[in-house]
């Protein structure tokens, strides 16, 4: 289902060449400023500046065919609210696919099309890791009462929900997915060991973290973390991770988590 071919950037360094993968990520929404703003700051913003990801946010109305740039209409069969039209989505995806892969056919398998929708499968860290291995992601943002079913049936490869709740627009969900994916790309995080230590990367919640001062208002950092004994620290962290997961998210635990 997924393409594992990469486009590459070559960076010249004093020690030679280092090869970095570069993912292109397109977000298509009628509210581009909502998606673009949070992704322009912090680690994700720096990743774009350094050329580690090619992130582009587009206005779906640019692919509308009428003079009013209409992207929604009343639903057939009668109902409250409006439904996103299929024509602009198809036109946008076909153009972006061709733009990203000019040497390939219009239905290029390298482009993975994702619809952000409350009706999709739950987004997880494992899905983020899968997406981070792809060449080209196109995130389509649903709005109003949803999108024409033909977009789901004949255009998208995946329908994703970021939680069991409803947002005012899909651009917020797209920003969440984009952030989760981009931070996994090589070179984005300062410490390459950071991502594997995150909650959910191991299937469990992350262990507690402490920093200076050693004691604050009578609350002391656990002695094991001050011991310098790396094997004991690793064991303590695993035990704490399992204990927190059992308390907060027992559904994540596997039988192997109870092994010593």
208 is catalytic: no
Predicted TM-score of the model (pTM): 0.84
- Dump pLDDT digits (tens) for 203-232: 899 999 999 999 999 999 999 999 999 999
Residue 3 has pLDDT above 90, yes or no: no
CA neighbor of 106 nearest in space, from 88, 93, 115: 93
Out of 95, 129, 130, 198, the active site residue is 198
Q: Are 150 and 86 in contact (CB under 8 A)?
A: yes
Q: What are the tens digits of pLDDT across the range 47-104?
A: 999 999 999 999 999 999 999 999 999 999 988 899 999 999 999 999 999 998 877 6
Residue 222 among the catalytic residues: no
Catalytic residue among 56, 118, 186, 237: 118
Kindly list the structural domains of the chain, giving each domain's residue range(s) and its CATH number in brackets, ordered by start.
7-182 (3.40.1280.10), 202-258 (1.10.1270.20)
The reply to whether 220 belongs to the active site is: no
Q: Helix (H, G, I), strand (E, B), or coil: what is residue 195?
A: helix
The residue that leads in pLDDT, 11 or 251, is 251
Distance separating alpha carbons of residues 173 and 80, to the nearest angstrom? 23
Catalytic member of 24, 97, 183, 204: 183
Clarify whether 118 is annotated catalytic. Answer: yes
Q: What is the pLDDT of residues 133-173, one digit of tens each?
A: 999 999 999 999 999 999 999 999 999 999 999 999 999 99
Q: Strand, helix or coil at 113?
A: strand
């Amino acid at each position: 289902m997924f393409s594992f071919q990469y486009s590459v950037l070559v960076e010249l360094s004093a020690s030679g060449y280092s090869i970095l993968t570069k993912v292109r990520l397109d977000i298509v929404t009628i509210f581009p400023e909502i998606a673009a703003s949070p992704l322009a700051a912090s680690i994700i913003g720096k990743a774009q500046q350094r050329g580690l990801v090619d992130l582009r946010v587009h206005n779906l109305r640019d692919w509308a065919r009428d003079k009013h740039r209409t992207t929604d209409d009343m639903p057939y069969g009668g109902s409250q609210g409006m439904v996103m039209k299929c024509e602009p989505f198809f036109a946008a995806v076909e153009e972006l696919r061709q733009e990203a892969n000019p040497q390939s056919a219009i239905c290029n398998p390298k482009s993975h099309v994702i619809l952000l929708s409350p009706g999709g499968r739950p987004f997880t860290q494992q899905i983020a890791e899968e997406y981070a291995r792809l060449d080209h992601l196109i995130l389509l943002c649903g709005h109003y009462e949803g999108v024409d079913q033909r977009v789901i049936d004949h255009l998208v490869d995946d329908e994703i929900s970021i939680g069991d709740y409803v947002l005012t627009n899909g651009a917020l969900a797209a920003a969440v997915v984009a952030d989760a994916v981009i931070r996994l790309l090589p070179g984005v995080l300062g410490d390459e060991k950071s991502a594997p230590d995150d909650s959910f990367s191991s299937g469990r919640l992350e262990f507690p973290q402490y920093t200076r001062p050693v004691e604050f208002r009578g609350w002391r950092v656990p002695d094991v973390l001050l011991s310098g004994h790396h094997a004991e620290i690793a064991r303590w962290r695993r035990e704490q991770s399992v204990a927190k997961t059992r308390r907060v998210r027992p559904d994540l635990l596997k039988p192997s988590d109870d092994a010593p």
